[in-house]
């Protein structure tokens, strides 16, 4: 005690001695033989279990000491329980640590590896998630979850070709015949949608619904992706119905992750309908849920959609702040599609705030990022913004050409309403150059797209 290494204290009326500093404790611990360390950890676990049982309130303590005590299968079982408890509490880093330790002790347990992969995907550790899903697929070819995880992670990284190839290979794999492949239909449609092939996405997602065997959260997600595609096509009534049905499914399943996505897409649908208060409320709920669950993808997407609502309210500073925070989230985890789209959204926001040069810079960054992964919608959005900048600066030919280019990109992406708006912009530009004939032709084409 006199040396200052230890201190007397009391806990629950019981006199005890503690280390004065954690470094002193670490030094003392390191001097113990490894065998003695194991024995002490096992003894702590044994006494703790005798005193407190093995309920959730003590499972973290037991799992840690059993792992350090090298208690074999009992340690694995307790680590899995501790990981599941942490996952339910959305303590994702803690859950990952427990499952990493469990996987270390049971490297061939596919359930543990899949649980770990799902968490790595959720928090944006995409390289680790891919490695884990691939490892499971190599030993459990007939497990749909590993194939879905691979496709989803490729999608989030903007590697759409790899996502499509993974899904196609899965559909041709003999070991998956007769299995419920709804998760794969979902991933195929989702990748098609975010890469701008909206019409194809709708066909694939509708096929996925037709093959569904029962009402599950996966079906809810298929409905949400259909709703997203329908919103892009200006069919907000149908989209809203699907989103509300998906919300019911997720609420019945107590699926917080599904509800998070639902509120984000509901918010965007409300925005397109001009119901801005409802949109903001839904998106703030979605953002709160995303932050609670630790889903980085949903945090970024919710912020991006909320920025669009604040823009329509003419709260430019708030809209810019939301976009910048979303960019920070997406860049941190390497979410290529999210980064490209938010660059485009920020350019659009800055244009309306009168910051043309800064808007142009972000639009060019958006196009570069979007073309690198084949994200047609983000490319079209940024090109349309460049056209509008040119129009405000009196560069009429540049405005007309860029607007027509954007319209073609929107058509390829299956976004007819946006294409019609770009064509109207092009018509205005050519009209100001006295090219009335070209302006009339563009407006005729815009009307045709609107009626479609």
All structural domains of the chain: 1-25 (no CATH), 267-322 (no CATH), 335-452 (1.25.40.10)
The SS3 assignment for 8 reads strand
Would you say 304 and 338 are in contact if contact means Cβ atoms under 8 Å apart? Answer: yes
- In tens, the pLDDT along 185-238 reads 999 999 998 887 888 999 999 999 988 778 899 999 999 999 999 988 889 999
Of 305, 308, 336, 309, nearest to 194 (Cα)? 336
- In tens, the pLDDT along 235-282 reads 999 999 999 999 999 999 999 999 999 999 999 999 999 999 999 999
SS3 of 363-387: the string is HHHHHHHHHHHCCHHHHHHHHHHHH
- Bigger pLDDT: 362 vs 9: 362
pLDDT score recorded for residue 7 = 55
- In tens, the pLDDT along 74-121 reads 989 999 999 999 999 999 999 999 999 999 999 999 999 999 999 999
Q: How far is CA 437 from CA 406, 428, 440, 443, in A?
A: 20, 12, 5, 10
**pLDDT tops 70 at residue 3:** no
Matching residue, tokens 């997602």? 205
Q: Tell me the pLDDT of the chain averaged across its residues.
A: 90
- In tens, the pLDDT along 289-299 reads 999 999 999 99
11 bridge partner residues:
14
- Bigger pLDDT: 6 vs 273: 273
CA 424, chain centre distance (Å)? 34
**pLDDT tops 60 at residue 301:** yes
Read off the pTM.
Answer: 0.81
pLDDT score recorded for residue 39 = 78
C-alpha–C-alpha distance, residues 99 and 83, integer Å: 6
Q: How far is CA 75 from CA 40, 60, 125, in A?
A: 15, 11, 26
| Residue 7 main-chain phi, psi, to 5 deg | -135, 145
pLDDT score recorded for residue 238 = 93
| Residue 299 main-chain phi, psi, to 5 deg | -60, -50
Q: What percent of the chain has pLDDT above 90?
A: 76
**pLDDT tops 50 at residue 6:** no
Would you say 246 and 284 are in contact if contact means Cβ atoms under 8 Å apart? Answer: no
34 falls in which pLDDT band (50, 70, 90)? low
Would you say 201 and 229 are in contact if contact means Cβ atoms under 8 Å apart? Answer: yes
* Of 27-41, 53-67, 216-230, 355-369, minimum mean pLDDT range: 27-41
Q: How far is CA 197 from CA 160, 206, 415, in A?
A: 11, 14, 9
Of 422, 427, 447, 425, nearest to 439 (Cα)? 427
Would you say 229 and 193 are in contact if contact means Cβ atoms under 8 Å apart? Answer: yes
Query: Which residues are CB-neighbours of 7 under 8 A, at least 6 positions away?
Result: 1, 17, 18, 19, 20
Matching residue, tokens 């897409």? 265
């Amino acid at each position: 005690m006199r040396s200052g290494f230890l201190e007397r204290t009391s806990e629950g009326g019981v006199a005890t001695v503690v280390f004065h500093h954690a470094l002193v404790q670490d030094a003392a611990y390191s001097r113990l033989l490894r065998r003695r360390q194991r024995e002490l950890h096992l003894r702590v676990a044994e006494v703790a279990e005798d005193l407190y049982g093995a309920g959730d309130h003590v499972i973290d303590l037991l799992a840690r000491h059993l792992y350090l005590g090298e208690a074999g299968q009992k340690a694995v079982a307790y680590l899995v329980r501790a990981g599941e408890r942490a996952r339910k509490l959305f303590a994702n880093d803690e859950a990952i640590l427990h499952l990493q330790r469990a996987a270390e002790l049971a490297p061939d347990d596919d359930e543990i590896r899949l649980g770990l992969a799902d968490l790595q995907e959720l928090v944006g550790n995409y390289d680790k998630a891919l490695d884990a899903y691939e490892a499971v697929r190599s030993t459990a070819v007939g497990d749909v979850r590993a194939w879905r995880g691979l496709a989803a992670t490729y999608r989030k990284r903007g590697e759409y070709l790899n996502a499509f190839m993974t899904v196609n290979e899965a559909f041709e794999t003999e070991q998956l015949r007769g299995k419920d492949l709804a998760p794969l239909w979902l991933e195929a449609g989702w990748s098609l949608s975010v890469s701008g092939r909206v019409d194809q996405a709708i066909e694939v997602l509708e096929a996925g619904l037709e093959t569904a065997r029962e009402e599950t959260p996966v079906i809810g997600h298929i409905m949400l992706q259909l709703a997203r595609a329908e919103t892009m096509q200006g069919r907000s009534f149908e989209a809203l119905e699907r989103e509300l049905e998906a919300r019911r499914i997720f609420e019945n399943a107590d699926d917080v992750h599904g509800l998070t996505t639902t509120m984000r897409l509901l918010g965007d649908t409300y925005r397109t309908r001009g119901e801005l208060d409802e949109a903001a409320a839904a998106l703030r709920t979605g953002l709160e849920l995303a932050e609670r669950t630790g889903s980085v993808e949903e945090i970024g997407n919710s912020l991006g959609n909320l920025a669009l609502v604040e823009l329509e309210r003419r709260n430019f500073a708030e809209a810019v702040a939301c976009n910048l925070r979303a960019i920070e989230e997406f860049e941190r985890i390497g979410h290529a599609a999210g980064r490209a789209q938010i660059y485009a959204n920020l350019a659009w926001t800055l244009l309306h705030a009168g910051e043309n040069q800064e808007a142009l810079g972000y639009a060019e960054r958006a196009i570069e990022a979007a073309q690198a992964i084949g994200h047609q919608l983000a490319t079209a959005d940024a090109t349309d913004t460049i056209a509008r900048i040119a129009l405000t600066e009196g560069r009429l030919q540049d405005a007309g050409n860029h607007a027509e280019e954007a319209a073609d990109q929107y058509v390829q992406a299956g976004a007819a309403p946006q294409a019609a708006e770009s064509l109207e912009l092009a018509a205005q530009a050519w009209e100001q150059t006295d090219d009335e004939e070209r302006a009339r032709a563009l407006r005729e084409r815009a009307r045709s797209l609107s009626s479609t």
